[in-house]
Structure 1
Amino acid sequence: MGTPRTAPLVLLRETLFLEASGVTYRIPALLYIPPAATFLAFAEKRSSPRDEDAKYLVLRRGRRQGSSVEWGPVEELSVLTLPGHRTMNPCPLYDAKSGTVFLFCICVEQGKTERCQIWRGCSAARLCYSTSADGGRRWTPLRDVTDEAVGTDLAHWATFAVGPGHGVQLRSGRLVVPAYAYYVHGCLCGVVPLPCYTRQHALVFYSDDGGRSWHKGALVSGGRTGECQVAEICAGDTRKLWLYCNARAPRRCRAVAFSTDNGLRFERSARCRALGEPPRGCQGSVVSFAAPSGAGDAPTWLLYSHPTDRAAGPLGKKYPKPVVKIICDSSVCPHHVAEREFPFFTIFLSRSLHFAGSG
């Protein structure tokens, strides 16, 4: 007799941010704060689906009750802005040592589209963050750390962004924020130099002093790597800790890269055909956790959540169809998809932003 299959996971879905006339929500991010059993769900509030019509971030706080979550009202974080800029790409991070939530984002000059920045080779984005010491109830004013964290390399970046999604704290205590940059590899010289070769590269920003100062790691080499998430994994029998990067890529599957020095440098990226996605990619997430007892030799499991294709929505419009996979293998291209019950929570986009969980 073969191994019996477990029943499929049942997702309990709840709408967190509902589209209304003149208002839409995009770019979700989800953070869990274990001591408070609290979820923080973020998104961009926009006046239209276009990136350039983003306004500021919004938040809902949820209290976990077993396998369900009780959500509070929508809170507008309109104070977390820079004058003349729109706030985009929420990327929250929890520092367990201090109990502080860091909310990273980018602030982009009004009227400057991503395409315009890439064409001109001149970034209009600023790297900013706010902190909360009370689980997201109160936030400090935005701090702009672009000059500190990026420095003179900003002259070679057409634009950049963090996440979107969430950051992580490594066992060493290092705080890590995933990011990507459009690096200008070459220019056409003339009266006005214009970039002729610009390419996406994933990277991370990090802090080793509890968030007092921030630095950047090296750009990931190899194929194009864009929006990304990172997770710390235990590498097989050696029990060495690696930082795993899972990035959006343009060829129908995610790209992966590994770092053995906590994100200072990553090995060359590689395609992972087991993690399929739409042709131009889409926002995705990955988290790591210790393997359940008796679950085999792999010390670390990875939980992936990202769209694999597009499903027809209302009025025939196409929307990414979300998928969640539990992978119990920490190889470059994971192949073992677990068929077992496991509690998880995720946030995803269709016409509005939804939260799904299974306990």
Structure 2
Amino acid sequence: MRSLLLRCLVVVLSFHTAFAAEPFIEKSDLFTAGDGGYKIFHIPGIVVTAKGTVLAWCEARKKGGDWDQIEIVLRRSTDEGKTWSAMKSIANVPGPKTKNPFSLAVKGVDPHDVTYNNPVLIADRDGTVHMLFCLEYMRCFYQRSTDDGESWSTPVEITSAFNGFQSTYPWKVLATGPDHGIQLKTGRLVVPVWLSTATGGNAHRPSVTATIFSDDQGKTWHASEIAVPCTDEWINPNETVAIELADGRVMLNVRSESKAHRRLVTISKDGATNWSTPKFDDALLEPICMASIIRYSLAQDGGKNRILFCNPDSLSRADGKEEPGKTRDRRNFSVKLSYDEGRTWPVTRVVEPGPSMYSDIAVAKSGAILCLYGRGLKPGFAGDFITLARFNLEWLTDGRDTAGASK
């Protein structure tokens, strides 16, 4: 009997080995500086729609600065990122535009430039793609697509949603995301935002972070409570990403300029109220750069809960040591994996060892992981390319994905 059991075990293990996926990683440049007459492409985002279409977008900047002439452009893929449509501009508010008056104090700003900024997309379970974007860091608009990003509705202004913040934080500059927003199990749409009184550097500081949310599929939007204020400890919290935890709570992962050099984390039961006291995550370096986070949970592997996080991480080395003076470097773009809802990050893999910048992350229907990130030929804030890295869980974990993920 024991011999028979051993033979059966060998057969099962052989079957598993034969059909286990081979690790792979593939890279392709989706946006290259100079294309279409744009000096740089910056602030990328990526989502996978309910039908499986991949949408990749970014800011296309004519000159390069945050307050310069900027458009929002999109590319589509119907084969999980292997091939792509041509670049297309997708944000256009009709009528005259007025420059944010606080931008005019920033050196070199042209009052005639039109700045579309901070696009955020949400892939709804019903197939709708919701999109928010800002104009002049002063007005916010909502539009939607019902054909997987082929066409978009006329933008509707939702700046009034931000009025709910004014009593506690008299902002003069507003920004959504950037990156993707999320839809909760309840159907609520949640978009992280940051706000500034525009009295500091680049008219973007000081700043605080919060969310706006919609419970009627984008028809109306509302302000949350301030999630992370600006203090001596939490310095200028701004670009923020969100994820729904397995128990339904919402966790924000926050960029800041704090001396701890680590990402900030805060949690709310509903993505809007009663935020927990922000804490630094010692495992997540903060190089003062956009990051991204997403759940990796597939029906084909039993729905195990994993969370993926990515950002430039100069500490992602074999010895894990911190190099003096290098903590803030935008390089060494890395992906981390958590099996316990973000409490620990036991897996780290470097995707791009050189200069690397803003990023977003998505999961294709097949389970392929899609990272869209800026990379440069030399150090800088934006880079020369926005590159897509496609890889699988086997590559990320070196074939050693543990079975300890919670369900």
Instruction: Establish whether TM, by shorter chain, passes 0.5.
Output: yes
Report the counterpart of residue 189 of structure 2 in structure 1. 175
Report the counterpart of residue 324 of structure 1 in structure 2. 335
1:274 correspondence with 2:283? yes
Report the counterpart of residue 283 of structure 1 in structure 2. 290
1:45 correspondence with 2:60? yes
Q: TM-score, normalised by structure 2?
A: 0.68
Contact 2:138–2:172 (8 Å) recurs in 1: no
1:242 correspondence with 2:249? yes
Report the counterpart of residue 404 of structure 2 in structure 1. none
Deviating above 4 A after TM superposition, structure 1's stretches of 4 or more consecutive aligned residues are 6-10, 291-295
1:81 CA displacement: 6.3
Q: Which amino acid aligns with 2:46?
A: L
Aligned residues: 305
- When Rg is computed on C-alpha atoms for both structures, the one with the higher figure is 2
2:157 aligned to which of 124, 144, 156? 144
Structure 2 Cα separation of the partners of residues 152 and 294 of structure 1 = 42
Bigger shift: residues 85-94 or 258-267: 258-267
What SS class does the counterpart of residue 34 from structure 1 fall into? coil
Over the residues paired in the alignment, what is the CA RMSD in angstroms? 3.0
1:301 correspondence with 2:337? no
Structure 2 Cα separation of the partners of residues 59 and 205 of structure 1 = 23
Q: Which amino acid aligns with 1:206?
A: F
Q: TM-score, normalised by structure 1?
A: 0.76
Where do 1:1-359 residues align within 5 Å?
Answer: 10-20=24-34, 22-35=38-51, 37-65=52-80, 69-77=82-90, 79-80=92-93, 83-84=96-97, 85-97=114-126, 99-108=127-136, 125-151=138-164, 153=166, 156-182=170-196, 199-221=206-228, 223-224=234-235, 225-234=237-246, 240-250=247-257, 251=259, 252-278=261-287, 281-290=288-297, 300-309=305-314, 320-331=331-342, 333-337=343-347, 343-350=368-375, 351-359=384-392
Structure 1 Cα separation of the partners of residues 344 and 95 of structure 2 = 41
What SS class does the counterpart of residue 147 from structure 1 fall into? helix
1:319 CA displacement: 5.0
1:162 CA displacement: 0.8
Structure 2: which 5+ runs fail to align? Answer: 1-19, 98-113, 200-204, 317-328, 350-366, 376-383, 393-407
Contact 1:81–1:87 (8 Å) recurs in 2: no
Q: 1:272 and 1:294, CA in 2 relative to 1: closer, same or farther beyond 3 A?
A: same
Contact 1:102–1:131 (8 Å) recurs in 2: yes
Report the counterpart of residue 362 of structure 2 in structure 1. none
Structure 2 Cα separation of the partners of residues 148 and 292 of structure 1 = 36
Identity %: 24
Contact 1:128–1:146 (8 Å) recurs in 2: yes
